[in-house]
């Protein structure tokens, strides 16, 4: 088995499980403190766009991983809205949907890949900002963002081997922003525990 196939397999498995801790946490808590519905919805749209890119570039593992991730992020969006978040918080999502659609229609595979390469920034920055400004991150899943950091690192290695610049840029930004969210969750968690004690 080729190294890219092994990395693609691990990336696919992590893609499936990356968002599951957040989904489970939302369903159990029935609250969405610290969860950005804009990040979840934008992540779903970006994931489904990566499916298209993966099909166009004949990267099966990447398409499969992206599709599974998109499905989970769609569920997170719906549960976050049901458990306290509001549709008016969707600021980036509709704009980015139009940008991705136009990039794909007008510029095809290359345009879609170019825009998708920065999509992870567009989708993760609302969560990063929310984690920075909100004190209560009780319902933000540390597991989801740890897995996202690892998954970004795996896809970065895969993309270097495939020499796919769009995935390289995206995976780098995924690992970086996810790592920052992990750090904020840990800092806020420590602050909240010391304030309670």
Q: Is 136 left (phi over 0), alpha (psi -120 to 50) or beta?
A: beta
pLDDT at residue 194 is higher than 60: no
Say if residue 193's pLDDT is above 80. no
Q: Which of 61-70, 95-104, 157-166, 188-197 has the lowest mean pLDDT?
A: 188-197
Span 160-187, average pLDDT: 94
CA distance linking residue 158 with residue 144, whole number of Å? 21
Q: How many other C-beta atoms can be found within 10 angstroms of the C-beta atom of residue 110?
A: 11
Q: What is the pLDDT of residues 21-54, one digit of tens each?
A: 999 999 999 999 889 999 999 999 999 999 999 9
Express each pLDDT in 136-168 by its tens digit.
Answer: 888 899 999 999 999 999 999 999 999 999 999
Q: CA 93, CA 123: separation in Å to the nearest integer?
A: 8
- The confidence score (pLDDT) of residue 196 equals 45
């Amino acid at each position: 088995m080729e190294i890219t196939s092994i990395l693609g397999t691990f990336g696919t498995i992590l893609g499936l499980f990356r968002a599951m801790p957040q989904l489970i946490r939302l369903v159990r808590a029935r609250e969405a403190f610290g969860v950005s519905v804009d990040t979840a919805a934008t992540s779903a749209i970006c994931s489904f766009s990566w499916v298209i890119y993966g099909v166009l570039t004949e990267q099966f593992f990447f398409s499969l991983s992206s599709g599974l991730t998109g499905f989970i992020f769609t569920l997170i969006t719906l549960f976050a809205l049901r458990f306290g978040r509001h549709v008016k918080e969707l600021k980036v999502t509709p704009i980015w949907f139009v940008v991705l659609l136009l990039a794909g229609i007008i510029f095809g595979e290359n345009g879609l890949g170019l825009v998708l390469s920065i999509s992870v920034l567009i989708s993760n920055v609302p969560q990063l900002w929310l984690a920075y400004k909100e004190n209560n991150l009780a319902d933000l899943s540390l597991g989801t963002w740890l897995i996202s950091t690892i998954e970004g690192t795996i896809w970065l290695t895969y993309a270097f081997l495939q020499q796919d610049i769009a995935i390289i840029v995206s995976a780098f930004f995924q690992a970086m922003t996810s790592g920052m969210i992990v750090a904020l969750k840990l800092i806020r968690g420590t602050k909240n525990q010391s304030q309670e004690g």
